[in-house]
Amino acid sequence: MFICRVYRFYTVVQTIKRTNSYTSKPFLKWAGGKGQITPELQKRIPEHMVISRKITRYIEPFVGGGAFFFHLKHNFDIEDAILIDINNDLILAYKIIQSQSEKLIHKLAIIEDEYLALDETERKKLFYKIRKEYNLEKESICYDNTDDRNILRIAKMIFLNRTCFNGLYRMNKKGEFNVPYGKYKNPKICDKNNIFAVSRALKNVTILQGDYTLARKYVCEGSFIYFDPPYRPITKTSSFTSYTDMSFGEQQQIELSNFFNECTKKGAYVLLSNSDPKNEDPDDDFFEKHYKNHIIERITAKRNINCIGEKRGKINELLISNYHEE
Domain boundary, last residue among 159, 194, 229? 194
Q: Domain tally for the chain?
A: 2
CB atoms inside a 10 Å sphere around CB 321: 19
Domain boundary, last residue among 139, 164, 194? 194
**Residue pLDDT, tens place only, 61-116:** 999 999 999 999 999 999 999 999 999 999 999 999 999 999 999 999 999 999 99
Together in a domain, 74 and 112: no
* Residues above pLDDT 90, as percent of the chain: 75
Examine the pLDDT at 214 and tell me if it is beyond 70. yes
Would 15 be classed as within a structural domain? no
Which pLDDT does position 82 carry in this prediction?
A: 98
Domain span holding position 189: 93-194
What pTM was computed for the model?
Answer: 0.88
Would 162 be classed as within a structural domain? yes
Together in a domain, 165 and 258: no
**Residue pLDDT, tens place only, 244-281:** 556 788 999 999 999 999 999 999 999 999 999 999 89
Together in a domain, 171 and 240: no
Together in a domain, 179 and 117: yes
Would 126 be classed as within a structural domain? yes
pLDDT-based confidence at residue 20 (cuts at 50, 70, 90): very low
Would 18 be classed as within a structural domain? no
Together in a domain, 259 and 316: yes
Which has more confidence, 170 or 63? 63
Per-chain mean pLDDT for the chain: 88
Domain boundary, last residue among 143, 165, 194? 194
Would 26 be classed as within a structural domain? no
Would 98 be classed as within a structural domain? yes
Examine the pLDDT at 199 and tell me if it is beyond 70. yes
Together in a domain, 242 and 98: no
Which has more confidence, 35 or 45? 45
Would 80 be classed as within a structural domain? yes
Would 42 be classed as within a structural domain? yes
* Residues above pLDDT 70, as percent of the chain: 85
Which pLDDT does position 243 carry in this prediction?
A: 53
Examine the pLDDT at 4 and tell me if it is beyond 60. no
Together in a domain, 215 and 305: yes
Together in a domain, 259 and 317: yes
Rounded CA separation 210/253 (Å)? 16
Together in a domain, 168 and 70: no
Examine the pLDDT at 146 and tell me if it is beyond 50. yes
Together in a domain, 68 and 141: no
Which pLDDT does position 304 carry in this prediction?
A: 55
Together in a domain, 112 and 261: no
Rounded CA separation 63/301 (Å)? 19
**Residue pLDDT, tens place only, 281-307:** 999 999 999 999 999 999 998 765 444
**Residue pLDDT, tens place only, 221-244:** 999 999 999 999 876 554 444 555
CB 186 within 8 A of CB 135: no
Which pLDDT does position 11 carry in this prediction?
A: 44
Q: What is the CATH number of the domain that holds 217?
A: 3.40.50.150
Which pLDDT does position 22 carry in this prediction?
A: 73
Q: What is the CATH number of the domain that holds 152?
A: 1.10.1020.10
Which pLDDT does position 1 carry in this prediction?
A: 47
| Cα–chain center distance at 55 | 19
Q: Are β-strands 77-85 and 54-60 bridged in parallel, bridged antiparallel, or unpaired?
A: parallel
Q: Are β-strands 77-85 and 295-303 bridged in parallel, bridged antiparallel, or unpaired?
A: unpaired
Together in a domain, 143 and 110: yes
